[in-house]
Amino acid sequence: MKESKNIRELNLKELEEYFENMNEKKFRAKQVYEWLWQKQAMSFGDMTNLSKELRQKLGSEFTLPALQIDTTQHSEDGTLKSRFRTWDGHLVEGVLIPTASRQTACVSSQIGCSLSCKFCATGYIERKRNLHFDEIYDEVVLINQQSEKTLGKKLSNIVFMGMGEPLLNYKNVLRSIDRITSVDGLAMSPKRITVSTAGVAKGIRQLGDDRVKFKLALSLHAANDAKRHEIMPINDTNNIQSLIDALNHFYKQTKSEITFEYILFKNFNDSFKDADELIKIYRQVPADLVNIIEYNPIEFARFEKPDEEKVEAFINYLSKNRVNARLRRSRGKDIDAACGQLANKDNH
């Protein structure tokens, strides 16, 4: 018996060829393609304008390994965290973050993560595998359905800030964004999508060469190599200077917006000296913004969150030095859905 192929691997032209070989009308391919990408069919049975025989034939020749929602948790602040189950039984998390002006989906790109950043819960679980492009697409589809159901509004933004390092799953991430932004997909503007990286210089350069249209966020979190190395092992092979060079290359090629992400840790990177080093980096890159992020404690990390006055003083110091900085308040902390907390835990 030959192994069935995932039907979403086929582009429209390949589907047309398949139907022609079956002596079926060519327009059937378009119908199936619409079901897969625009109408978000999760099974062949959903494709109601095809004959039962044709649906059965497709089901016998192809697979449609759609993502399923395993559990959903509701935070007091309106944030929804969903745990998705893949066709091969892995679990991965995604979050719907509603604010007054936007509905953001935070999606994962890998099952687990290989980067072991010391402050992030996902970094403490091993990477099982990359998510496939259609699985990432399904995350967005399912979170969008939640948004429409609970808020009566479609998603306005997507951030690749969930589990995993997007640039270590480069092809699938770009292919998923292609489907999300395509007119025969979800037709979202790439300007509403942000891909966040822990700093894979080669990947950042590649994004520039590929002339991507989405925004880029760099998780900096420490403004000198010694400190960054201590909390983010990836800095060994991707030091700050290499990231500055890569970001400049990215901007030159794409003119897309760049943001720095900087989590404040008590007595580690929250002094004015740290702020000065951050300002120096900010001035070497055409960055739009520095997002100062509240640290969300996790059980196995030794970090703490600085007090409010310290955070305010840090941000005011940056602003005085003409750095566009803002505090990003954490959402969904009570259900471990906040930045750095995704770890597939069973909290029922």
Concerning whether 339 is annotated as a catalytic residue, the answer is yes
Concerning whether 93 is annotated as a catalytic residue, the answer is yes
Q: How far apart are the C-alpha atoms of 219 and 161, rounded to whole Å?
A: 10
Q: How far apart are the C-alpha atoms of 165 and 110, rounded to whole Å?
A: 7
Q: How far apart are the C-alpha atoms of 98 and 275, rounded to whole Å?
A: 30
Evaluate the CA torsion angle 168, 170, 174, 175 in order and state its sign: negative
Going by DSSP bridges, is the β-strand pair 157-160/193-197 parallel, antiparallel, or unpaired? parallel
Going by DSSP bridges, is the β-strand pair 258-263/289-293 parallel, antiparallel, or unpaired? parallel
Residue pair 190/214 in contact (Cβ under 8 Å)? The answer is yes
The per-residue DSSP string of 161-177 comes to -SSS-GGGGHHHHHHHH
Residue 12 gets which letter from DSSP? H
- Choice among 16, 93, 135, 261 that is catalytic: 93
Q: Which of 335, 326, 258, 268 is nearest to 296 (CA)?
A: 335
Q: How far apart are the C-alpha atoms of 79 and 332, rounded to whole Å?
A: 5
- Choice among 106, 117, 120, 339 that is catalytic: 339
Q: Which residues pair with 91 in a beta bridge?
A: 85
Q: How far apart are the C-alpha atoms of 302 and 265, rounded to whole Å?
A: 10
Distances (CA, A) of 15 to 58, 109, 175: 11, 27, 18
Q: How far is CA 289 from the centre of its chain?
A: 19
Burial track 170-204 (b if 16+ CB lie within 10 A, e otherwise): bebbbebbebbbeeebbebebebbbbbbbbbbebb
Cβ count near 50 (within 10 Å): 19
The three-class DSSP label of residue 222 is: coil
Query: Could you give the residue numbers annotated as active site?
Result: 93, 339
